[in-house]
Amino acid sequence: MSADSGVQSSGGANREGETPAQVAETVTDETSVDVDRDERVELERTIGLGGGLAIGVGTMIGAGIFVFPGIAAGRAGPAAAASFAIGGVVALLVALPASELATAMPRSGGGYYFISRGLGTMAGTMVGISLWLGLVFASAFYLVGFGSYATAALAEVGIGFAVSPVTVLGLAFGAVLTALSVTGTENAAKLQNAVVGLLLVILTLFLGYGGLDALGVFGNATTPETFLPFGTVPVFTTAALVFTSYLGFVQVATVAGEIQDPGRNLPLAMVGSVLVVTVFYVVTVFVATSAIGSTRLAGFGETAIVEVARVLLGPLGAVAIFVAGLLATLSSANASILSSSRAIFALSRDALLPRRAGTVNLRYGTPHLALAMAGVPVLGLVALGEVELLAEVASFLHLVMYGLICVALVQLRRNRPDWYDPSFEVPGYPVVPALGAVASFGLIAFMQPLSQLVGVALMIAAAGWYVFYARDVSLRGKL
Amino acid sequence: MRQRILVPLEILEGETVGPGVVDLLASTDVVLLGYHVIPEQTAPSQARMTFEEKAQAKLNDAAEALREAGATVETVLAFTPEREQTLDRVAADHDCDAVLHLNPVMEDENLLVVLHGDVDAERIGRFTAAFVDGRDVDVTVLEVTPPDEAATRTGVVTDALVDGGYPRQRLTREHVESTTPVKAIAEVATAFDAMVMGEKAPNLRALVFGDFEERVAAESIGAVFVVRREDRES
C-alpha cells in the first residue's frame, strides 16, 4: 500500500493490527490520481451527471410511489401529500450540506466518510455500520414491496396461492440480486439508467393525466375530502414512515469516487434527485387520493397505486404500473445492496472492519464478502416481512447519519483543515445545516416505539463494536 | 523524432509484451498502461486496494524489459470500469502518436501500412517514416477500397517515407478491392509482423461491431499500431 505523501496520515491500529489504508489521491474531473515513488496509479471516473441522477432517483422512486401511497393515505388521509412534502424538505436540508462535504471529499463511502473525518472514529464507526445496516433494512423493505407487486401481478393473471407468496418471492429475488452482483453483471448501470428513464416516462404520463383529471379537465373535478381527517400529528408520523422514500440521495455520495467532474455533478445529482422525487411523490399522493379517496386507497395496501391506474386509465394503465412497480422496487433493492457493500468497503479500508471484508476477487472482480455481508442479512429481514418496521428502521439509521452530516459540516467549517476546500458551499450557512440536523433528529421522534428501540439497539451495538475492535484507530481531520 | 506509443496491457489477465514487440518498440517512447477492468459493482479504489501491489510488480517487469531494449518508458496503472475511456484519456494525457494493439508477433522484419476509409494518410505517412527510421524493415503500403474504386492515397505514404530517407526500392504498393475490409486486411496481414493503420472517426458501425481497428487487430497475428486522429488531441 502506498505511503501518504503530503497529507497527514491516519494513525492507530485495530484489534488485528490493521491500520487505515490512506492514499493521497489528486482528484481531477476524470480520475483520481496517485503519484508515488514514480508509480502512477489512476482510478477512472465513469459516472456522469445522468448516471448520478439515475442512482439517486432510481434508489428512491421505488418506495415513495409504488409502496407507500396506500399505507400513508390510511394514516394521514389526503394530507399524506404534506407528509411527503415534509420528507422532501428534510431531505433537501440534508442534501445541501451533504453536497458541500461531497465536493470537499469526493471519495467512496459518502456520509460515513464525511462523519469519520469531521467527527472522529467513534461517530464514524457508528454511522458506517448504521449506513451498512440501514441500506440492508431499506433493501429488505424494497424486496417485500417487490414481493407484493409480484403477488398482485400473479393474482391478476389468475395465479393464486393458498399462502401469500410475498415473502417467498422477495427472498427468491433478493438471492438472485445478490448472486448476480457477486458474479458480475455487465452493463447493470446502463440498464438501471434505462429503467429509471422508462419509469419517469410512465409516471409522467400517468400523473399528468391523473392530475388533469383531478383538476376537472376531463369532466367534473373530484370532490376533495377533508384534508386532515386525523389531525396534524399523523402527518408527522407518516412523514417519519415515508422518509424511507428519500434515502437515495446520499447513495450518490457513496460513489463519489467514480463521479466525473465531482465539483459540479455531485451537488446537481444529489439536490436534483431529491427535487425530482419530491415532486413525483407529492403529485402521486394528490392524484391517488383524488382518484379513489384515501380510505379505499388504504384498503389496497402496498399496491394501491395499481388500483389508481386502473380507475384512471383502465386495465392497460394497471399493467403499465405493475411493470413499473416491479422494475422500481427491484432497482431500488439492487442499488441499496450495492451501496451497502460500498459502505462495508469504506469501513474495511479504514480498519474499522477486517480488511478482508473489502477485498475483491480476481475471478469476477467483485467484492464478494462485502456483497454477502449486505445480501445475506437482507434475506433474513425479508423473511420477517414487516414493511413498516423495515422502512422505519432504515429511515432511523439514515436519519442519524443525516443529522450527523450536518453537525460534521459545522465542525469542519469551524476547524477548517487545510484540505477542506469544497467547490460547492451550502447556502444559508449556518441556518440550513442547523435546521437539517434538528429536522433529521426530530423526525426520529415521530416513529413507532418499536422502530426507535431497534434503531437505538443497533447504534449501541455499533458503538460496542468500535470499543471492542477499533478504539485505537484515529481518522478525525484526516483526508 | 521518436514516436510516443501507448501500449495498453490488461495486466492481471496475464497480457505481456512479447520479445518481438519489445524489439519493435526499442527506439520509441513508450507509455506503458497496465489496466484492470472492473465491474460496476466494484469501486476502482476497492480493486486498487486488493490488486495494486501485484499489478504494479508485473507492470514494472514489463517496463524493465522495454528499457533494456532501449525504449524510454513511463508507466501508468489504471483501475477502470471502461477500458475505452481509459485508453483514450491516457493516450490524450500523454500526447501519444499511436496506440499499440498487442498480438503474439515474434519478428520485426516487415511492416504493412493499411489505408482504408476516412483515415489521415499524411499523418500515417509521417508516423511510419519516423517509426522505420534507422530500422532494417520492408514496408508494404496497402490501400483497401470498395470494388471498382481506384487507390489514390498510397503515394502519400510512400512519398512521406522517401522524404524521410527510406529507400524507395524497399517499398511495395498494393491495392485490394473488397466489400469485407476487415477480412481482406487480415488476409494480407498474415504475411507481416506488424501493421500500421489509422484511427477512424467513431460511427454507428463502430458502436455496433466495435472499432474497425480493434476488429482488424483481433483478426491479425501481428502487432497493430493505430495512429491517433489529429482532431482528438485538442
Q: What is the pLDDT of residues A233-268, one digit of tens each?
A: 899 999 999 999 998 888 888 888 889 999 999 999
Mutation target to probe the B interface, by most B beta carbons within 10 A, among A44, A108, A113, A366 is A44
pLDDT band with cut points at 50, 70 and 90 for residue A3: very low
> So what's the pLDDT on residue A271?
96
Helix A387-415, helix A233-242: angle, nearest 10: 80
Considering the four listed CATH numbers 1.20.1740.10, 3.30.830.10, 3.40.50.300, 3.20.20.370, the one that applies to the domain covering A47-469 is 1.20.1740.10
Q: What is the pLDDT of residues B54-106, one digit of tens each?
A: 999 999 999 999 999 999 999 999 999 889 899 999 999 999 999 999 887 66
**Average pLDDT for A446-470:** 95
Residue A37 has pLDDT above 60, yes or no: no
pLDDT at A216 over 80: no
Looking at the structure, do residues B39 and B126 belong to the same domain, yes or no? no
Search chain A and give the residue with CA nearest B35.
A42
Report residue B233's pLDDT band, with 50, 70 and 90 as the boundaries: very low
pLDDT band at A22 (very low <50, low <70, confident <90, very high): low
Residue where a domain terminates, one of B35, B68, B96: B96
Helix, strand, coil shares of chain B, percent, nearest 5, are 40, 25, 30
> Does residue B101 form part of some domain?
no
On whether any CB of chain B is under 8 Å from the CB of A372, the answer is no
Average pLDDT score over residue span A303-327:
90
Q: Which of B73, B96, B119 is the last residue of a domain?
A: B96
Q: Give the max Cα distance, chain A.
A: 75
- Find how far residue B73's CA is from the centre of its chain: 16
Residues B91 and B119 in one domain: no
Residues of chain B neighbouring A362 (CB-CB closer than 8 A): 12, 51
Residue B64 forms contact with A (CB below 8 Å): no
pLDDT score, position A278: 95
Candidates A22, A30, A41, A190: best to mutate against B (most CBs of B within 10 A) is A41
Within 13 Å of residue A296, how many CA atoms lie on the same side as its CB? 12
With CB atoms and an 8 Å threshold, state whether B46 touches A108: yes
Same domain as B225, residue B118? yes
Q: Could you tell me which residues come within 8 angstroms of residue A65 by beta carbon, excluding any fewer than 6 positions away?
A: A203, A280, A281, A284, A305, A328
Domain of B25? 4-96
Q: Is the ipTM of this complex over 0.90?
A: no
Is B104 a member of any domain? no
Could you give the percent of chain A with pLDDT greater than 70?
Answer: 94
Which pLDDT value is given to residue B19?
82
Averaged pLDDT, B145-165: 92
pLDDT digit string (tens) for B136-146? 889 999 999 99
pLDDT band of A223, cuts 50, 70, 90: low
* B102 in any annotated domain: no
- Structure confidence by residue, pLDDT tens digits, A356-366: 998 999 888 89
The answer as to whether B103 is a domain residue is no
Query: Which chain A residues are within 8 Å of B53, Cβ to Cβ?
Result: 1
Q: At B61, which CATH number?
A: 3.40.50.620
Residue B40 is nearest to which of A189, A349, A360, comparing CB atoms? A189
Q: Do both B86 and B127 map to the same domain?
A: no
Cβ neighbours of A30 in B, within 8 Å: 89
Name the band, by pLDDT with cuts 50, 70 and 90, for residue A193: confident
Chain B interface disruption, residue of A18, A29, A34, A43, most B CBs within 10 A: A43
Residue A330 has pLDDT above 80, yes or no: yes
Cα–Cα distance measured from residue B90 to residue B56, given in angstroms and rounded to the nearest whole number: 17
pLDDT of res. A1:
36
CB-based contact A399:A441 (threshold 8 Å): yes
Backbone angles phi, psi at A275, to 5 degrees: -65, -45
pLDDT of residue A375: 94
What is the SS3 assignment for A68? helix
Q: B85, A1: Cβ pair inside 8 Å?
A: no
Asked whether residue B123 falls in the same domain as residue B219, the answer is yes
Distance from CA of A189 to the nearest CA of B (A): 7
Mutate to test the interface with A, among B10, B36, B37, B40 (most CBs of A within 10 A): B40
Q: Do B80 and A371 touch (CB under 8 A)?
A: no
Query: Which residues of chain A make contact with B67, given a CB cutoff of 8 A?
Result: none
Q: How many domains are contained in chain B?
A: 2
Alpha carbons B160 and B115: distance in angstroms, whole number:
14
Q: Are B44 and A258 inside 8 Å of each other by CB?
A: yes
